[in-house]
Amino acid sequence: MERSLRAAIIGDSVDALQAASYLAGIGIDVRFITGSPAFAFFDSSQADPRLFWSTVLNAVKNPSISFHYNTLSTEIKGTKGDFHIGTKQRLSYIDSNLCTGCKKCEENCSTMLAILKDGEKISGKAVHKPYPGIKSVPSTMVIDKNEVAPCRVACPLGINVQGFISLLANNKVDEAYELINMKAPLGGILGRLCKHPCEEKCNRVKIDSPVSIRALHRYTYDNAGAAGKVPEADAIPSRGKVAIVGSGPAGLMAAWELKRRGYEPTIFESHGTYGGMLATGIPRFRLSREIREREINKIISRGIKIRTGITVGRDIDFAYLRERDYRAFFLAIGASRNNKLNIPGENLKGVIDCMSFLITLNQMGDIFVGSNIVIIGDGNTAVDSARVAIRKNKGSVKIISWTVPDELTAAGDEVEEAFEEGVTIEYSAFPVEILGEGNKVVGVRCRRTRLTDEVMRNGWHKPEPVPGTDFIIDADHVIVAIGQSADASQLNLEGLDVEKKLGTIKVNPITLETNLSGVFAGGDCMRGPNNVVDAMADGVRAAESIDRYISGCDMEQGRNGEPARIAEIDVSAVAASPAQRARMSYLDLETRKNTYEETTTGFSSDTAREEAGRCLSCALCSECMECVKVCKSNAIDHADSVQSAEIEADIILRFPEGKDSDRDSREGIYNFNFEASVSDGDNKPKIMAGVIQTILDLTTAFPDILALRDSHQLSRHHQRVSTDDAEKRTGVFLCSCNGENSAVMDFERLMRAAGSRSDVKHTSMVEQACSENGATAIAERIKADGLTHAVIAACRCCSYDQVCYSCNDRRILLRNYLTGDVSADHNAALDYVNIRELCAWAHNGDGVAATDKAVGMLEAAVDCVNIRQPEDLDRYPINPVALFIGGSNINRTAAMTLEVLGYKVFHIEPPNTPMDSSIASSKDHAAHEGKSVYREMPDSLSIEGSPGNYQVRLEYAGNEDVLNAGAIVMDGSLPQAVLQKISSNYLGRLCNRIISGTRVGDQEREAKYNFSKYESALNQVGIFINAGGAGSEEGQGSNSGIIAAARILQYFRSHWITLRHSVAQVNAALCRACRNCTEQCPLIEIQEDGNGRPHSYVEQFVCTGCGACTAVCPTGAIYINNQSNRLLAASLKSYLCRTKT
């Protein structure tokens, strides 16, 4: 097979992670699928966090393992070799590869959620760490979102209601304004006139009363400092001219949306002023002229042409417009024709229709009113007219309504205000004649009505007059306000389909297209008299349709009004104390009655904040976008919608939770029941053996994965830097961590201080070192400036290849990026110092002190990196041949396993070593009998050579034989006599010491050294010591043998050995063989030099680097280079004796 074998692991546990590491270790491409957002250790008295984190971090570090977090596998389709795993993603909206966990988004998030859990109130922001307060790897943040808030769904314009309210709750008025503006540039009007369908759906009503959304909307507009600021239009070349007839809210919104999409709209308005009903029919105390003009100018000022005084259909016609390249038309002429009563006396002097009444007031600023005013009608216009009249009138103002109080068409709060101002209403009265004297009106004759069962278009019952109940109301001024109708005839558009009775234009409800192609209609002329927000929504919808029409796209696709999923909340789980909605404050009654200006004064900032705080945040994250504004890694994507994906794999390993989980017994799927906890030693070999046996079965089935055809250069491969001291060029790179570090510390000063050293040839800053861009930038500068050593001051603490358990994914990524494709470590020795957590975070209250400290840290770091030698970069290739010394069960099983996989294996066995019956009878043994190379135990055996490539010299009665092997596997049960034979040189003697030391019975030695620690260090250079003796329980040896084979296999598959930096070295000239160090450590022994002079000796590639030997050395002969006394003294000096630079 040309590609690597792909294995998917579905699970969460430490066992699953270890399996992943094993698989990756032998060259398999692992896809790790877990439902958790990240790995975290939850306090448990049974498990060891260090083991947990080592396992997690080693897996995360491995480039052959790719992690799929938040992913639940739904079904597994396909067959072995071609599985397709269906998955469902739990969205977190944040890319864990980019997020550095800086928590700026959380600081800036405007949504604080509070829930009741077991009676306790828990609060947290909508964006947070996956397990707040607990370390997680990856360090990413996550966002909780719950469908769409009901208020947002209810809004015809789709304004992000919950969003702007959370911003207001945090006093972010300007941001709230901008958010509203995105959907509703005429928002200032809505804050006064909207019928607030959002409030009708507000979930707060389940606790007490809905949030006063419209009032908060108004508050935003009144208080935003950015008044007048509109989102910038993109500079797109014009995609076509569109004609809009009517400059009311529908027409204006259509123009805005079309302009935003790159079209050239022109509005034709028959009146002299623009705004439609906003300018003509709505009195100033409901919408002031300033607000109206300011809001409309916001739209116009984006370059939209309005031609006033032109009546389309009379002054110009559609043919004319078509000739001038107008490619589509939007009819938004509103409903301006006043309905007539059609009763006698309607033409008397003193009888006026309400539109003329209000227009005159708006345009002239004043109007004549009689003393006994009667308004016929019960809609908003009637009430508006009444309230206008009462301000001028010294007598009475009475509204005549044909229905009952509960079924008035006018909005309740408007009626309330009218009452307060002194307007009265006569209910259930139907005018049948207007009485006059001469040609002037003197009264209205009415008839009582009763409600019928017939339901009218507006949802109320239709009243019918009752004969014989006539009565007269005195009046010297009658205003007729029984509604308006659309009048499409004025357009003179032939063939336009119009509703006969109402006069409204008929349209396709999804696209708003009329029966004439390219002609669209919306607003009151299509709906009949309606609320301003619906007209605006129509304008936006028509613009989308026109865009599709002109572009030639399908006009209905995706728009058939499938309702968004509305967020549900459990009110009992929400922690909110009952509080009634804030009351709007009004001017006092006297002032109110004498002014045409606004009667309400709006909320104070405290009231607004409190009212906004009543919002329950139904959708959790409100998409207010404050987090995006501060995330410099661009890790947040609120539009993320990838919900399901298929992951491909050749084989699958399942680690289901619980004991009796369902087995999936299809071929190629391996089930491991997770029964043992992390620290349960006994079960571990069983599970791991199971995993590994699986792996080994696979390698038999897919032998190519172990293609030994990989080129293995047995020659040394060095990447050397110059050894000449004079050519040492050191660079210092500071990571600002997207501005976080540089906000606390003075980076200018740091760079100056670092650069003031003569050996520092380069200092620079990167934004985010743990990113491809950051690493590439650093690597390029290293090359460009010919640097030989470099300090990266970021979040990583050390340059070792090891993984400490305090590490995390950002630190791992940083090193992976720098040592991966960009290979910065090929050109310079790299060292790292942590200025993020240890300086910026720990001391963020005191920037000067933090900077001071960082100066010392950088200086010490430069000293540390400068002592690195070029040999540090050497890598040693591993010879994939194993030599087994000793014939225990474990050794034999391991050897056989490797042979089956195609590796060359040597055996050296003491004579008469019995073979375990289970092994002798296995088919593998039979197959490979004869292929193994056996040698007798020699007279002496010495292990020489370099790590990973040993030459084992065997001496047989004067004859010498040399075996080359990369791994030497020793049987821990070798008798002492045999051990003596292998002790011809250091490595052999070392193995002897280790094996002897682990023998039961030598308790003093066992107390002093913990030999298992040394063993793992030896494993890394290919020396394996298998515990347990021959004759141990059958089967147990077999399990351990398989695990041993897996460890050796992993070692072979890593191809190279890189040595640790912190190893002990001996300066023989200073050593007087006092044996203090050998007492400390079994790896150290005394050897004689050429002159017979004894001194300590330790093989660097087996030293674990603990340094205990260095502490007890009286002369300093034995030392660790990067922890030497000299270096420590220099670091202490850097920290303690700084002069301010």
- ∠ CA 881-885-890, nearest 5°, is 90
Among 50, 440, 629, 718, binds other proteins (CB under 8 A): 50
Q: Are 217 and 160 in contact (CB under 8 A)?
A: no
Residue nearer to other proteins on the CB measure, 54 or 942: 54
Interface segment toward other proteins; rule CB under 8 A; list 79-87, 198-206, 330-338, 1009-1017 = 1009-1017
Assigned token pair, 634: 């661009």
Looking at residues 642 to 661 of the shown chain, list those that interact with other proteins (rule: CB under 8 A). Answer: none
Among 543, 798, 995, 1049, contact with other proteins (rule: CB under 8 A): 798
Q: Least distance (Å) from other proteins to the CB of residue 1132?
A: 5
Which tokens sit at 895? 């050897």
Q: Does 814 engage in binding with other proteins (CB under 8 A)? A: no
Residue number with CB closer to other proteins (738 or 808): 808
Is 49 near other proteins (CB under 8 A)?
A: yes
Smaller CB separation from other proteins, 596 or 1135: 1135
- Can you tell me the distance from the alpha carbon of 44 to that of 873, in angstroms, rounded to the nearest whole number? 41
Nearer to other proteins, 50 or 629 (CB): 50
Does 1111 sit near other proteins (CB under 8 A)? yes
Nearest-approach distance from CB 1130 to other proteins, in angstroms = 10
313 binds other proteins (CB under 8 A): no
CB of 1016 to other proteins, least distance (A): 10
Q: Residue 502: helix, strand or coil by DSSP?
A: coil
Cβ distance to other proteins smaller for residue 535 or 1118: 1118
The least distance separating other proteins from the CB of residue 1128, rounded to whole angstroms, comes to 5
How do strand 326-331 and strand 241-245 relate by DSSP bridges?
parallel
Show contacts with other proteins in window 1052-1071 (CB under 8 A): 1062
Does 1040 help bind other proteins (rule: CB under 8 A)? Answer: no
Choose the binding region for other proteins from 162-170, 312-320, 431-439, 837-845 (rule: CB under 8 A). Answer: 837-845
Looking at residue 1064, what DSSP letter applies? Answer: E
Query: Closest Cα to residue 250, out of 539, 551, 541?
Result: 539
Stretch that binds other proteins, among 4-12, 145-153, 732-740, 832-840 (CB under 8 A): 832-840
If DSSP codes are grouped into helix, strand and coil, which group holds residue 114?
strand
Cβ atoms within 10 A of the Cβ of 427, count?
18
| Residue 181 near residue 173 (C-beta atoms within 8 A) | no
Window contacting other proteins (CB under 8 A); options: 68-76, 171-179, 248-256, 1101-1109: 1101-1109
Choice between 432 and 1112, CB closer to other proteins = 1112
Q: Does 1125 bind other proteins (CB under 8 A)?
A: yes
Strand-pairing partners, residue 904, are: 881
In the bound state with other proteins, the residue whose beta carbon lies nearer, of 935 and 1060, is: 1060
Question: At its nearest, how many Å lie between other proteins and the CB of residue 175?
Answer: 26
State in angstroms the smallest separation of the CB of 1121 from other proteins: 12
Q: Is 1110 in the site for other proteins (CB under 8 A)?
A: yes
Q: How far is the CB of 122 from other proteins (least distance, A)?
A: 18
| Shortest distance, position 1014 Cβ to other proteins, whole Å | 7
Sign of torsion over alpha carbons 236, 241, 242, 248: positive
Distance CA 507, CA 520 (A): 7
Going from the C-alpha of 817 to that of each of 277, 674, 774, 813, 1091, the distances in angstroms are: 63, 35, 9, 6, 49
The contact pattern for other proteins, residues 9-48, with x = CB under 8 A and - = no contact, is ----------------------------------------
Number of residues that bind other proteins (CB under 8 A): 50
Q: Does 920 bind other proteins (CB under 8 A)?
A: no
| 702 or 1135: CB nearest other proteins | 1135
Question: What three-state secondary structure class fits 11?
Answer: coil
Pull the structure tokens for residue 347. 């033409």
Query: Is the CB of 737 or the CB of 839 nearer to other proteins?
Result: 839
With CB under 8 A as the contact rule, the residue among 325, 459, 1136, 1139 that binds other proteins is 1136
| 3-state helix, strand and coil shares in percent for the chain, rounded to the nearest 5 | 35, 20, 40
Q: Contact 791/730 with Cβ under 8 angstroms?
A: yes
Restricting to residues 849-878, name those near other proteins by CB under 8 A. 849-850, 852-853, 856
805: left (phi over 0), alpha (psi -120 to 50) or beta: alpha
Based on CB atoms, which residue is closest to other proteins, 135 or 684?
135
Q: Which of 421, 874, 1009, 1055 binds other proteins (CB under 8 A)?
A: 1009
- Whole-angstrom distance, CA of residue 864 vs CA of residue 10: 43
Whichever of 253 and 1021 has its CB closer to other proteins, that residue is: 1021
Q: Which stretch binds other proteins (CB under 8 A): 329-337, 377-385, 531-539, 1105-1113?
A: 1105-1113
What is the per-residue binding string for other proteins in 107-136, x denoting contact by CB under 8 A?
Answer: --------------------------x-x-
Whole-number Cα distances in Å, 674 to 146, 338, 607, 681, 802: 33, 78, 56, 14, 28
- Residue 308 forms beta bridges with which residues? 269
Contact with other proteins (CB under 8 A) among 413, 454, 846, 1034: 846
The residues, any chain, with a CB within 8 Å of residue 436's CB and separated by 6 or more, are 345, 348, 349, 442
Kindly state whether residue 55 participates in binding other proteins, applying the rule CB under 8 A: no
Question: Residues 308, 921, 1012, 1141: which binds other proteins (CB under 8 A)?
Answer: 1012
Minimum distance of other proteins from residue 1110's CB (angstroms): 5
586 binds other proteins (CB under 8 A): no
* 801 sits near other proteins (criterion: CB under 8 A): no
- Closer to other proteins by CB, 634 or 1012: give it: 1012
Q: How far is CA 531 from CA 210, 481, 527, in A?
A: 20, 16, 10
Using CB under 8 A, pick the residue from 700, 773, 1010, 1115 that binds other proteins.
Answer: 1010
Distance CA 229, CA 304 (A): 16
Distance (Å, whole) CA 263 – CA 551: 11
Choose between 390 and 839: whose C-beta lies nearer to other proteins.
839
Task: Return the number of other C-beta atoms located less than 10 Å from residue 123's C-beta.
Answer: 9
Of the candidates 316, 411, 516, 797, which one interacts with other proteins according to CB under 8 A? Answer: 797
Separation of alpha carbons 241 and 104, rounded Å: 45
3-state class (DSSP) for residue 297: helix
Among 801, 837, 929, 1002, binds other proteins (CB under 8 A): 837
- Whether the CB-CB separation of 244 and 254 falls below 8 Å is answered with yes
In terms of phi and psi (left: phi > 0; alpha: psi -120 to 50; beta: otherwise), the region of 738 is left
Beta pairing partners, 600: 586
Residue 536: closest CA among 234, 215, 246, 149: 246
Contact call for residue 1131 and other proteins (CB under 8 A): yes
User: Does 1123 participate in binding other proteins (rule CB under 8 A)?
Assistant: yes
Q: From the list 841, 874, 935, 1100, which residue makes contact with other proteins (rule: CB under 8 A)? A: 841
Contacts of 373 (CB under 8 A, 6+ apart): 386, 389, 393, 395, 396, 397, 398, 475, 476, 477, 478, 479
Query: Is residue 1100 at the binding interface for other proteins, with CB under 8 A as the rule?
Result: no
Which has the closest alpha carbon to 586: 424, 713, 756, 419? Answer: 419
Catalog residues that contact other proteins under the rule CB under 8 A. Answer: 49-50, 133, 135, 797-798, 804-806, 837-839, 841-846, 849-850, 852-853, 856, 1009-1014, 1062, 1080, 1104-1108, 1110-1112, 1120, 1123, 1125, 1128-1129, 1131-1133, 1135-1137
